[in-house]
Chains A and B, each alone.
Chain A
Amino acid sequence: MTTQELQSQDLWNFLEDVKDPEVPVLSVVDLGVVREIENIENNSWLITITPTYSGCPAMQVIEEGIKERLEQEGIRAQVKTVLSPAWTTDWLSENGRRKLKEYGIAPPVNEVDKSVLFAEQTPVPCPSCNSTNTRMVSQFGSTACKAHYTCNDCLEPFDYFKCLK
């Protein structure tokens, strides 16, 4: 393939192979972390990414992963990180939501306003048995983007990819 033929869609496809190191079923494209792919000149491309959480320790690995994957195609990539507009779970692709559930992580549901204390929680369906009879064990889970839940019916503990808006 000559460089002239490369379209940004090809790069989007290549980046489907770069996985989130914390949730390896999701690609950085599924996650909505890759925001823009622009051609600078010839074989040089600028990839714009945005962090899910400010302190997400996976960002460096993701940046390296993107460069490495594109290098395999002979593409020189620069990666730029932007903070605005801020990442939201709305950017998680449909495909990503399905893959999360299959992996045993409940995808985000629309939650009530967080400023309401002790608000009635929107039920999060169990990814194993689909029961909505579940309870939150802790708002904070194994990574910044997850909360910790348990299913009251099948008793399975599970991660919930929490809603961030």
Chain B
Amino acid sequence: MTKQEALFEYVLRKADDTLILGHRLSEWCGHGPVLEEDIALTNLALDLIGQATELYQYAAEVENKGRNEDDLAFLRLEREYKNVLLVEQTNGDFGKTIVRQFLFDHFQSLLYERLMNSADEQIAAIAEKSIKEVKYHLKHSSEWVIRLGDGTEESHNRVQESVTDLSRYIEELFYQDEVDEILIKEGIAADTASFKEEYYNNINAVLSEATLSLPEKMWQLDGGRKGVHSEHLGFLLAELQYMQRTYPGMEW
């Protein structure tokens, strides 16, 4: 694998994470439990889709095969999407959406903090831009985890169930392979192993405040980075890609 191929794959993976999670959040539009949360979740979605656009534009430039950001976002097959499994999981109830967001925000924040110093200028610029938005997301999701966990018996039980359920996707956030190894050597990618402990400390601090806890042991799933997804991604893509598949090249 050349450095250029690795860079394309690396940026694509990050772009897919943000697009798929952004799309999931956009499904809340008009369905939020209260108006303020409806607006908050769609604001988060907008930030993430914006970040995805920047990442896809850069991936397309690195690939240099005449594809643009829309081709990458809309015209690939399921197996070509390289997002982690966590972000494609269904919204469930509001609590599950918040827990999914919480687990992702803490990861993305630590990742971008490091990527701001990437030897790749464009990755550093995207990280510098995005981290300001991610800090808002992180605060929002963390405060909700505490409110729901330390709320009523009903909210506590439901949100604990989501924490247990989604904990099987945490380790995959730190997945690394040849793509990362090549770029870590070049000072372009961040070594996820270097902030894994910090991640667990950060989420555990919030969970404990929320009277919640991660299960001691949980079977961990992965595959997303290789394009092997859970059953949910196909359904999501069917909706995401519908317009471009039905009316190819459509613009408005």
Contacts and interface: CB of A to CB of B under 8 A. Distances in A.
Interface of A: 51, 53-57, 82-88, 114-115, 117-118, 137-142, 144, 148, 164-165
Size band of the interface chain B makes with A:
20 to 34
A165 B39 contact: no
B25 to A, nearest CB: 11
Contacts of A85: 128
Contacts, number: 83
B125 A117 contact: no
A145 to B, nearest CB: 10
A-B pairs with lowest CB-CB distance, top 5: A55-B50, A54-B50, A84-B125, A138-B36, A55-B46
Contacts of B132: 86, 88, 164-165
Contacts of A56: 50
A148 B40 CA distance: 10
Interface stretch (B140-148, B166-174, B180-188): B140-148
Nearest to A139: B140
B121 to A, nearest CB: 8
Contacts of A53: 46-47, 50, 133
A138 B39 contact: yes
Interface in B105-130: 121-122, 124-126, 128-130
Interface in B134-176: 135-136, 138-140, 142-143, 146
Given A84-B121, A117-B143, 14 more contacts: A53-B46, A54-B53, A56-B50, A83-B125, A88-B132, A114-B136, A117-B139, A117-B142, A138-B36, A138-B39, A140-B43, A140-B44, A144-B43, A148-B36
Given A138-B39, A139-B40, A164-B132, A118 B125 contact: no
25 contacts: A53-B46, A53-B47, A54-B51, A54-B54, A55-B47, A55-B48, A55-B50, A83-B54, A83-B122, A86-B125, A114-B138, A115-B138, A115-B139, A117-B142, A117-B146, A117-B209, A138-B37, A139-B136, A139-B140, A140-B36, A140-B44, A141-B39, A142-B39, A164-B132, A165-B132
